[in-house]
Structure formats: C-alpha cells, structure tokens
Amino acid sequence: MDIDKKIYEMHAEMCKIFTNSKRLEILNILRDGEKSVTELEKATGLHQSNISQHLSLMRDKMIVETRRDGTNIYYSLADKRILKAFDIVREMLYAKIHKNAEFAQKLDEK
C-alpha cells in the first residue's frame, strides 16, 4: 500500500483517540506527570470502569505508558510531543472563539 495513504490512516487512527473530551482531559492531566487510575478518577469525576476503558484504549494505541507500583498503576504520556500539537489546536480554538465573538458584537451594533 501507498506509504502516504498508510500515514494518513495512522494519523486518522490516532486522532480517533482525541475525539473524546474525557480522554483529552486525562491526557492534559498527565501533562504534569504520571497519575494512578484512582488519582485520575478523583481529578475527573468519571467512573472507574470508564477511565479504565479510556486508558486501556490509549495504552493500546501507545499514547500512554504504564508502570505498576503495588496495586497502583501509574499512567504517563508516551510521547510528550503530542502536547505541542494540542497547544496548537487550542490556540486555533481560542482564535475561533475570539473571531465569533467579534462577529456577534458586530451584529449587536447594527
């Protein structure tokens, strides 16, 4: 298969991970370093099974890595470069929000 197509598919596949706001929240919490499932449960308020599902998915896709310490399992980012990509998207979103706000204001002025 065409190598370019393959990369597009891998890219699309990776982005599927980022289509869930809870997963993005989890990843953003991991920005500061590894966290256990329980810590993530407290930080997000999600059900344990649900967090575990999200983490399992992200581990399969090699977005996060794990380290066991006793009964705890600590999750961390496998490649911190993803944070840079997230930051760019966030910049774009803020710009979009700002643009929309300006547009709304112009409508009000009429």
Among 38, 72, 79, 101, binds a second copy (CB under 8 A): 79
> Which option in DNA, a second copy, none does residue 37 bind, with CB closer than 5 to 8 A by kind?
DNA
**Cα-to-chain-centroid distance, residue 42:** 17
User: Which stretch in 3-11, 13-21, 82-90, 95-103 sits in contact with DNA by CB under 7 A?
Assistant: 13-21
- Name the binder of 110 from a second copy, DNA, none, CB < 5-8 A by kind: none
Region of 24 (left: φ > 0; alpha: ψ -120 to 50; beta: rest) is alpha
Q: Edge-to-edge strands of the sheet including 35-36? A: 35-36, 72-77, 64-69
